Amino acid sequence: MFISKLPNTGTNIFSTMSALALQHNAINLGQGFADYPMNQSLCNLVQKHMLLDKNQYAPMAGVPELRQAICNKTTRLYNKSFDIDHEITITPGGTYAIYTALTAIMQPGDEVIILEPAYDSYLANIEMNGGVAVLVPLNNPDFSVDWQKVKNAVTAKTKAIIVNTPHNPGSYIFSPHDWQSLTEIVSNTSIYIISDEVYEHIVLDGAQHESILRYPSLWDRCFAVFSFGKVFHNTGWKLGYCIAPKQLMNEYKKIHQFIAFTCNTPMQYAIAEFLQNENEYLQLPAFFQHKRDLFLNAMQDSGFTLYQKAAGSFFQTMGYQAISDRKDTDFTIWLAQEFKVATIPVSAFYKNGSNEKLVRFCFAKKDETLLAAAERLRKI
Ligand SMILES: Cc1ncc(COP(=O)(O)O)c(C=O)c1O
């Protein structure tokens, strides 16, 4: 008999909703990816490097030009430089980076704390490594963290805590106070922190991104995870990176060399060159803020309830209890079938579901897509 490592896992909700969107010819505000073309100059740079025959295996840690460009960026933004030979690995996306970090540190039976709602790969990645996910709920309705609850969840078996800022699906962004509270919990323990920051450049309303890299007292225990896909509108490239201190990155690379080993070479060169122009990332908050505001304006007269404007990421959650008392999975299927708009039910981000009657809209879409979707949603 085949024994599954993930007996309770089926096709994830993102694939299901994207398939449903296709089937019903629905506008897809579900899965988190752009429906507009990515930057053409970045495409041209890929072609340039392919033609320069940068087409063989890159070094295991990634091409040095890209590692250096990232170091320049973290120094500029977070006042944190690192050793590009020993403290960074370019990865096939952020999800892989998280999986690899967990695999590097975990032993069977270890506990890892995750804050729910949570990006769904965390739970699976912990279970694939023979660990136990300890679930701590975020506050309702703003998805802020109740640090006392996190503290209460810590046991002698806690190996790591995974945090995510800006947050998917809740769009909450960490403040210095959050990092301070986490520091107090982990100091005098050997708990690692995996900080998922794939939306680092999507922090809205003039706020600044509070990367873990800004906090020297957490450096020794951190794996900071980033992705180019979300911020440069090319999720299909699956390219990201992990930054961690040398002793942790050493173990990380042992795992990495036997799973992916390396990532796509010409795209690494292209991004390295693209990052030379800091405006490419500095203009992202304004770009996404425009989209959030456009969508929320268009949704003003809808039956959906706005509890909190998205502070970061490109997701907006809204309540639908004024419209329907269906559970959220049924509601989103009904929405896709009857009103031709695909969304994601927030319960999908909980191990055991939830009944908060919230849906998540992705606003990384063309303006006309957002307006057309809102027009349909206003009719409900
Ligand atoms: C919080 C979070 N982390 C990581 C990822 C995955 O990033 P990547 O596509 O680079 O694996 C996502 C994608 O939805 C996400 O929402």
What confidence tens digit (pLDDT) does each residue in 163-212 have? 999 999 999 999 999 999 999 999 999 999 999 999 999 999 999 999 99
Answer yes or no: is pLDDT of 119 > 90: yes
- Are residues 92 and 221 part of one domain? yes
202 in contact with ligand 1, CB cutoff 6 A? no
Q: Does residue 2 sit within a domain?
A: no
- Are residues 234 and 337 part of one domain? no
Q: Beta strand 358-362 with 315-319: parallel, antiparallel or unpaired?
A: antiparallel
Answer yes or no: is pLDDT of 11 > 90: no
Q: Does residue 5 sit within a domain?
A: no
- Least confidently predicted of 94-98, 239-243, 355-359: 355-359
Q: Which atom of ligand 1 is nearest to the CA of 313?
A: 16
Residue 294 DSSP one-character state: H
What distance in Å separates the CA atoms of residue 185 and residue 188, rounded to the nearest whole number?
8
Q: Does residue 153 sit within a domain?
A: yes
- Are residues 259 and 144 part of one domain? yes
Q: Does residue 4 sit within a domain?
A: no
Answer yes or no: is pLDDT of 16 > 90: no
Residue 77, domain CATH: 3.40.640.10
Of 279, 295, 316, which marks where a domain is finished? 279
Q: What percent of the chain has pLDDT over 70?
A: 100
336 in contact with ligand 1, CB cutoff 6 A? no
Q: Which atom of ligand 1 is nearest to the CA of 239?
A: 10
Answer yes or no: is pLDDT of 14 > 90: no
Answer yes or no: is pLDDT of 8 > 90: no
- Are residues 148 and 222 part of one domain? yes
Residue 348, domain CATH: 3.90.1150.10
Of 279, 299, 315, which marks where a domain is finished? 279
Q: What percent of the chain has pLDDT over 90?
A: 94
Ligand 1 center to residue 312 CA distance, Å? 14
Strand partners for 224: 195, 243
What distance in Å separates the CA atoms of residue 314 and residue 362, rounded to the nearest whole number?
6
97 in contact with ligand 1, CB cutoff 6 A? no
- Are residues 254 and 170 part of one domain? yes
- Are residues 274 and 296 part of one domain? no
At 371 the pLDDT is: 98
Q: Which atom of ligand 1 is nearest to the CA of 240?
A: 10
Answer yes or no: is pLDDT of 128 > 90: yes
- Are residues 213 and 116 part of one domain? yes
Q: What is the mean pLDDT of residues 218-229?
A: 98
Confidence band of 256 (pLDDT split at 50, 70, 90)? very high
119 in contact with ligand 1, CB cutoff 6 A? yes
Ligand 1 center to residue 346 CA distance, Å? 16
Ligand 1 center to residue 169 CA distance, Å? 11
Domain that holds residue 162: 41-279
172 in contact with ligand 1, CB cutoff 6 A? no
92 in contact with ligand 1, CB cutoff 6 A? no
What distance in Å separates the CA atoms of residue 200 and residue 18, rounded to the nearest whole number?
25
28 in contact with ligand 1, CB cutoff 6 A? no
At 15 the pLDDT is: 84
Answer yes or no: is pLDDT of 17 > 90: no
At 212 the pLDDT is: 98
Q: Does residue 8 sit within a domain?
A: no
Ligand 1 center to residue 262 CA distance, Å? 19
- Least confidently predicted of 20-24, 53-57, 162-166, 371-375: 20-24
What distance in Å separates the CA atoms of residue 170 and residue 199, rounded to the nearest whole number?
12
Ligand 1 center to residue 238 CA distance, Å? 9
The answer to whether the beta carbons of residues 155 and 201 sit under 8 Å apart is: no
Ligand 1 center to residue 227 CA distance, Å? 7
Residue 220 DSSP one-character state: G
The answer to whether the beta carbons of residues 91 and 67 sit under 8 Å apart is: no
- Are residues 101 and 27 part of one domain? no
Q: What is the mean pLDDT of residues 147-161?
A: 98
What distance in Å separates the CA atoms of residue 189 and residue 185, rounded to the nearest whole number?
8
What distance in Å separates the CA atoms of residue 112 and residue 252, rounded to the nearest whole number?
17
Answer yes or no: is pLDDT of 146 > 90: yes
Of 254, 279, 304, which marks where a domain is finished? 279
At 10 the pLDDT is: 80
235 in contact with ligand 1, CB cutoff 6 A? yes
Q: Which atom of ligand 1 is nearest to the CA of 227?
A: 10
Q: Does residue 7 sit within a domain?
A: no
171 in contact with ligand 1, CB cutoff 6 A? no
What distance in Å separates the CA atoms of residue 209 and residue 226, rounded to the nearest whole number?
13
Q: Does residue 36 sit within a domain?
A: no
Q: What is the mean pLDDT of residues 287-316?
A: 97
Q: Does residue 82 sit within a domain?
A: yes
Ligand 1 center to residue 124 CA distance, Å? 14
Ligand 1 center to residue 324 CA distance, Å? 30
Answer yes or no: is pLDDT of 61 > 90: yes
Ligand 1 center to residue 121 CA distance, Å? 9
What distance in Å separates the CA atoms of residue 112 and residue 128, rounded to the nearest whole number?
12
Ligand 1 center to residue 119 CA distance, Å? 7
- Are residues 145 and 214 part of one domain? yes
What distance in Å separates the CA atoms of residue 183 and residue 198, rounded to the nearest whole number?
21
Q: What length is written for the chain?
A: 380
| Residue nearest atom 14 in ligand 1 by C-alpha distance | 32
Residue pointed to by tokens 């210095």: 176
Count of domains forming the chain: 2
- Are residues 287 and 275 part of one domain? no
The answer to whether the beta carbons of residues 200 and 164 sit under 8 Å apart is: no
Give the chain's mean pLDDT: 96
- Are residues 247 and 315 part of one domain? no
What distance in Å separates the CA atoms of residue 53 and residue 135, rounded to the nearest whole number?
47
Answer yes or no: is pLDDT of 216 > 90: yes
Residue ranges of alpha helices (H) inside the chain are: 13-23, 40-51, 64-78, 94-105, 121-128, 147-153, 176-186, 228-231, 246-256, 265-274, 279-282, 284-298, 328-334, 367-378
What distance in Å separates the CA atoms of residue 356 and residue 170, rounded to the nearest whole number?
12
- Are residues 324 and 179 part of one domain? no
Confidence band of 107 (pLDDT split at 50, 70, 90)? very high
Answer yes or no: is pLDDT of 250 > 90: yes
